[in-house]
Amino acid sequence: MSTSPTPPTRHWDPPAPGHDPTRQWGTSPTPPGPKGKRRGPILLAATIGVALLVTTGFVANGGTPDSRPAPTPATTPSPGPADPPDDGLGGGSEVPEPAPTPEREPEPEPATVEIPELSGINRAGAEQILADYGIKATIRYRSTDQYPAGTVISQSPKAGALVLPDTTVSLVVAKTPPPPPPPSTAPPPPETTPAQCDPSYPDVCLDPAVEDYDCAGGSGNGPRYVEGPIRVLPPDPFDLDREGDGVGCENG
């Protein structure tokens, strides 16, 4: 390949005395440079060099064009569901587990109270003792002459039992029994037997063994007499109801 010869460098002589370069060359005292070279051969040489480089690269790659796939343009991912905000723990989308709830301590059980012995104490004293222990009392009375009136006979629950406050204890308190009824002063009625009284005369007892009864104040001669009026039932063996109206001795 031929190259363009380099033009020789031209040397300038120093100016002669009294010579004004400005007048000769204008405002610039610098002498003009060499004339411009021809660009045609230079451009042709550059074009041939580029073609050789391309040809050399094509042969080095096996005579085939570059088979590498073209880069895929970056795609913008489609928006998905929003991730939960970062909680600062490095979990990102993970939801932190809730803190465990502290267990409540069991409440202490209330203290129990031992029931005292109340038998033989009067009612007011027993109620006051129970009140001091925070226990209520209910009262029942029983008639007896074995204990003084107003004295506690028994209790439920019994003494020594352990109970909670506000428990109710039942007390049985003695009371004076009522006095016995007074003896009767009326004489007892005479005892008679059915065999001694005739059933025809229910208001009076007429002995059927007597010979005859007549109305007192009448004309009969006895030997026994009856004060009337009295009820008479058949068969009227002493004939005291002569009118037959069920009443005898109406007029005496």
pLDDT digit of tens for each residue in the chain (252 aa)? 445 555 555 555 565 565 555 555 444 455 555 555 555 566 777 777 767 765 665 445 554 445 555 555 555 555 555 555 555 555 555 677 878 787 887 777 778 889 999 999 999 999 999 999 899 999 999 998 889 999 999 999 999 999 998 899 999 999 988 888 888 776 666 665 555 888 888 888 888 888 888 888 777 777 888 887 888 898 888 888 877 788 888 775
Give the H or E element holding residue 81: none
Neighbouring residues of 221: CB distance < 8 A, sequence distance ≥ 6: 214
How far is it, in rounded angstroms, from Cα 49 to Cα 42? 11
Tell me whether the omega of the peptide bond preceding residue 31 falls within 30 degrees of 0, making it cis: no
Query: Is the distance from CB of 30 to CB of 15 less than 8 angstroms?
Result: no
